[in-house]
């Protein structure tokens, strides 16, 4: 089955700096890679995703890059703000027909300090 590793487990940055979270996956059949933000006591919120036919995707301050050859993908947050503080999960899914199950990374706790 799929295995997703995520680093770092904790990340502290100053407001305005950039943050980068990296994930690697094992199953070459995976072709969908979402990122979720989870605030304390809440459910995960989908913030950006990328499919295997795309190398990079950007949405305002958030961007995701994918290297299929190396089987890794990364989340980049620029100009960080205190409200970006949360736990971030990457995930991978080998979408095959009707089956689409996410395998999550272990999470990164991002702390943005003033």
- Does 25 participate in binding another protein (rule CB under 8 A)? no
Helix/strand/coil (H, E, C) string of the chain? CCCEEEECCEEEEECCCCEEEEEEECCCCCCEEEEEEECCCCCCEEEEEEECCCCEEEECCEEEEEECCCCEEEEEECCCCHHHCEEEEEEEECCECCECCCEECCCEEEEEEC
Residue 79 Cβ vs another protein, minimum distance, rounded to whole Å: 26
Taking contact as CB under 8 A, which single stretch among the options 15-23, 33-41, 56-64, 78-86 is the one that binds another protein? 33-41
Choice from 51, 59, 61, 67 touching another protein (CB under 8 A): 51
In the list 53, 60, 69, 98, the residue contacting another protein (rule: CB under 8 A) is: 98
Nearer to another protein, 36 or 112 (CB): 36
């Amino acid at each position: 089955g799929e295995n997703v590793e995520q680093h770092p487990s904790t990340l502290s940055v100053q407001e305005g700096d950039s943050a980068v979270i990296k994930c690697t996956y094992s199953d070459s059949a995976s072709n969908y890679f979402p990122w979720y933000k989870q605030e304390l006591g809440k459910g995960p919120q989908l913030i950006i995703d990328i499919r295997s036919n795309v190398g990079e995707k950007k949405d305002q301050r958030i961007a995701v890059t994918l290297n299929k050859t190396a089987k890794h993908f990364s989340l980049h947050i620029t100009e960080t703000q205190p409200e970006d503080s949360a736990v971030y999960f990457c995930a991978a899914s080998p979408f095959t027909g009707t089956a689409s199950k996410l395998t999550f990374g272990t999470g990164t706790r991002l702390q943005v300090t003033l």
